[in-house]
Amino acid sequence: MKIAIVQDWLRTGGTEKHTVHLANRFKAAGHDAVVVTCRPGGPLSENLDARRVSLQPFDARCNIWTPGLTTTLRREEPDIILLMGKVANCRGVRIKERVPEAVVVGTLRTGNPIPHHYERSLCLDDAVVCNAEWTAERARKIGVAKDRVLVAPNAVGRDWDWEKRAFHRAKIREEQGVGEASVFVKVAGFRPGKGQSELIHALAHFRPQEDWRLWLAGDGSTRRECEGMARDFGLSDRVTFWGNVPDPYPLLAGADVAVFTSQAESQPNALVEAQWCGLPVVAYCTGGVRECFMPDISGYAAPLNDSEAFCQKLSLLVDDSALRSTMSERGRAFAVEKFQSGDNAVRYLDLFERLLRKRRTEI
């Protein structure tokens, strides 16, 4: 089977990571996988084992410029075209019209508003893969038939050595001089909707007489604004901006609680990875976030932007080490069982096989 995955750029977001994961798994399973990107390069390029074709002759730093997209796909002659991300899915209608011999599979993996062209594509695709029940319901509400929707949660493909967690924890806490302070961590790009500003605002007056730290890993357009907020609230000595961190494992190992304040999410990988590392969670409950942990078992959910409730839940974990330990064990077991023990690429491949058999029967 030949599979073409269309993705705008291989930056470090969850969808891009999943594109690389799927392409590598498809190739390892013996299929001819090619990733077609708008822009060349990208931080995740070095992780890609499958073949890649870039549409732009140079990096125009523009994710929506797709020169020769359908010409490239016709030349590749794929059996399956998998659309990943907003740009690719917004091109779905044109791809179906100009590459009619291929089976086109869309994806819905976002909590953000869905553009009109994206909605049209989803309704016309041969199938739609969603990463959460919440996004599957969104697909059905815009008109995608129930029997064309597959839910396949993201696989967390991290190859972290659990036995080294204690070593990483001791090392990074010593390097950062945090001592016995409670450390909260959030790993996410600094973009509108990711919630770093909401988190800083929520913690602005959290336990001012106690020693706690906030570690923010990631970079992007809203980072400077968040750094200014931290200064304005007098939190500069408590909040560390790490920038892009290729391997967040040491940060997660060194922290005590994962804090999650995104405004719209479907299935945030960072939340799953934090639990894999044994961190209890406090999260604003929005979109598919509730599907990524077990409220009151592996962490706590707070109403969206209710900073008072958020800090109350956080205080429960800060004050009770036994509770943190219990939630840590339960969260790790949940993350390993639901998101790592199985290979979700198999679910995609099973879907592709069914669609191709149906196409051959129709012909």
Q: What CATH number was assigned to the domain covering residues 162-340?
A: 3.40.50.2000
Neighbouring residues of 35: CB distance < 8 A, sequence distance ≥ 6: 4, 5, 7, 10, 19, 20, 23, 48, 50, 51, 52, 53
> Mean pLDDT highest for which of 66-70, 157-161, 188-192?
66-70
Residue recorded with tokens 């999410």? 265
- 51-54 and 32-37 beta bridge pairing: parallel
- The reply to whether 162-340 shares the fold of 2-155+342-362 is yes
**Per-residue model confidence (pLDDT) at position 246:** 79
pTM: 0.85
Rg over alpha carbons for the chain, rounded to the nearest Å, is 21
Q: State in words which class domain 2-155+342-362 has.
A: alpha beta
| Residue 284 pLDDT > 80 | yes
Give, in degrees to the nearest 5, the angle at Cα 275 between 272 and 279: 140
Inter-residue contact 8 to 78 (CB < 8 Å): no
**Which pLDDT does position 344 carry in this prediction?**
85
What is the tens place of the pLDDT at every residue in 122-177? 999 999 999 999 999 999 999 999 999 999 988 775 678 999 999 999 999 999 99
Amino acid symbol at 94? R
Give the CA count within 13 Å in the CB-facing half-sphere of 149: 23
What's the mean pLDDT when you consider all of the chain? 94
Token digits for 254?
């060194």
Where exactly are the structural domains of the chain? Answer: 2-155+342-362, 162-340
Q: Which of 96, 66, 57, 65 is nearest to 78 (CA)?
A: 96
pLDDT digits 0-9 by tens, 218-247: 999 999 999 999 999 999 999 999 998 878
pLDDT digits (tens, 9 = 90+) for 334-356: 998 888 756 789 999 999 999 99
| 306-324 average pLDDT score | 97
113-127, 142-156, 194-208, range with the lowest pLDDT: 142-156
Is pLDDT of 363 > 60? no
> In this predicted structure, what is the pLDDT of residue 41?
94
Query: Based on the number of CB atoms within 10 Å of its own CB, is 343 exposed (0-12), middle (13-18) or buried (19 or more)?
Result: middle
* pLDDT score at 12: 79
